[in-house]
Structure 1
Amino acid sequence: MNYQYPIDETWTKEEIIDVVNFFSLIEKAYEKNVSRKDLLALYKRFKEIVPGKSEEKKLFQAFEEQSSYSSYHVVKKARETEKSIFKMKESSTHK
Structure 2
Amino acid sequence: MEYQYPIVPDWSTEEIIDVIKFFECVEKGYESGVDRDELMKQYRRFKDIVPSKSEEKKIFDQFAETSGYSSYLIIKKSKESNDMKMIKM
Task: Give the TM-score taking structure 2 as reference length.
Answer: 0.96
Q: Secondary structure at the match of 1:7?
A: coil
Report the counterpart of residue 87 of structure 1 in structure 2. Answer: 88
Report the counterpart of residue 93 of structure 1 in structure 2. Answer: none
Q: Any gaps of 5 or more consecutive residues in structure 1?
A: 89-95
Report the counterpart of residue 36 of structure 2 in structure 1. Answer: 36
Report the counterpart of residue 51 of structure 2 in structure 1. Answer: 51
User: In structure 2, how many angstroms separate the alpha carbons of the residues matched to 1:85 and 1:2?
Assistant: 25
- Deviation sequence 1:2-24 (CA, Å, 0-9, x none): 11000101100000000000011
Report the counterpart of residue 77 of structure 1 in structure 2. Answer: 77
Report the counterpart of residue 10 of structure 1 in structure 2. Answer: 10
Runs of 4+ in 1 over 6 A off after TM superposition: none
Range that drifts further, 55-64 or 27-36: 27-36
Greater fraction of residues in helix:
2
Give me the CA root mean square deviation.
0.6
Q: How many residues align?
A: 88
Shift of 1:85: 1.1
Confirm or deny that 1:61 pairs with 2:74: no
Task: Give the TM-score taking structure 1 as reference length.
Answer: 0.90
Q: Secondary structure at the match of 1:18?
A: helix
Report the counterpart of residue 27 of structure 1 in structure 2. Answer: 27
User: In structure 1, how many angstroms separate the alpha carbons of the residues matched to 2:53 and 2:79?
Assistant: 17
User: In structure 2, how many angstroms separate the alpha carbons of the residues matched to 1:70 and 1:49?
Assistant: 19
